[in-house]
């Protein structure tokens, strides 16, 4: 007599796997980063509609991860959605730019003062090396495989957790986009590099007052440059000029 079939799957029984939460989260992160890059490169320019169906088809995914990525982009203020309308990339608003850069000038200026006191000699050496490598695009691309961000480096070196959280958290993406608009002009890139070197020298001399003053002036000039430029001209991907 044959034994009754077991309800427990054997090794030969195919078991359909369901995506884990971590797999879903990974897909969502990937979609978020891809759309974020499209916004930075102005492939999705200011005011562009984010069509979830079109994006899902482009990425070969369902609409779920795309919808979640769009929500995240709304959360970091790069995308807006009015009631009964589609999500859009934010449009250029001089008043909003001015407000954001005034806050940045105050916080990042003070962070620079703190960094002059708290950065180690090793951190200053690394900052100098990366700053000079950034002047060479080929060398800049080889900086540990990641973009070098002069401003983020200084903010983190302030060792002030609240300032770091404010400037390097979700707000960082919005600041970065405006900085890309600022740095799109070739002349501004050259000026900004000179200003970065001046700030570095003040940091190296442990001159907190001068470091703060130079950083505040640097950010004020970047703000004026952003406001004077049309965002449609800001397709350049270089972030070094703010």
Reported as a single tens digit per residue, the pLDDT across 170-179 is 888 888 877 7
CATH class entry, domain 23-89: mainly alpha
pLDDT higher than 60, residue 10: no
CB under 8 A, 24+ apart: contacts of 217-222: 218/192, 219/101, 219/104, 219/105, 219/108, 219/109, 220/101, 220/105, 221/191, 221/195, 222/101, 222/179, 222/182, 222/188, 222/192
> What would the pLDDT profile of 81-114 be if each residue is shown by its tens digit?
877 788 999 887 888 889 989 999 999 999 999 9
Listed by start position, the domains of the chain span: 23-89, 94-233
Residue 152 has pLDDT above 80, yes or no: yes
What are the pLDDT digits (tens) for 183-225?
Answer: 555 677 788 899 999 999 999 999 999 999 999 999 999 888 8
Residues 6+ apart with CB under 8 A from 108: 151, 154, 155, 163, 167, 215, 216, 219
Place of tokens 């001399």: 205
Q: Residue 22 CB: number of other CB atoms within 10 A?
A: 8
Give the side-chain half-sphere CA count within 13 A for 4.
Answer: 3
Q: Do domains 23-89 and 94-233 have the same CATH topology?
A: no
Residue 54 in this model has a pLDDT that exceeds 80: yes
Q: Which fold has domain 94-233?
A: 1.20.120
Positive or negative, the Cα torsion across 182, 186, 187, 193?
positive
């Amino acid at each position: 007599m044959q034994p009754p079939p077991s309800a427990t799957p054997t090794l030969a029984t195919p078991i359909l796997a369901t995506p884990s939460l971590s797999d879903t989260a990974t897909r969502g992160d990937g979609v978020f980063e891809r759309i974020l890059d499209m916004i930075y490169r102005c492939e999705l320019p200011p005011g562009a509609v984010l069509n979830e169906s079109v994006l899902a088809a482009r990425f070969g995914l369902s609409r779920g991860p795309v919808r979640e990525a769009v929500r995240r982009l709304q959360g970091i203020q790069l995308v807006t959605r009015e009631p009964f309308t589609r999500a859009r990339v934010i449009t250029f608003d001089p008043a909003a730019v001015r407000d954001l850069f005034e806050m940045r000038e105050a916080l990042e200026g003070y962070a620079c003062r703190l960094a002059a006191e708290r950065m180690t000699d090793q951190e200053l050496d690394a900052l100098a090396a990366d700053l000079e490598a950034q002047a060479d695009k080929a060398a800049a691309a080889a900086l540990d495989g990641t973009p070098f961000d002069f401003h983020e480096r200084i903010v983190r070196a302030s060792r002030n957790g609240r300032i770091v959280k404010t400037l390097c958290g979700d707000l960082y993406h919005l600041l970065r986009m405006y900085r890309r608009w600022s740095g799109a002009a070739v002349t501004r890139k050259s000026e900004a590099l000179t200003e970065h070197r001046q700030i570095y020298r003040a940091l190296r001399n442990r001159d907190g007052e001068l470091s703060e003053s130079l950083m505040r002036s640097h950010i004020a000039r970047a703000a004026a440059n952003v406001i004077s430029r049309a965002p449609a001209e800001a397709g350049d991907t270089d972030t070094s000029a703010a």
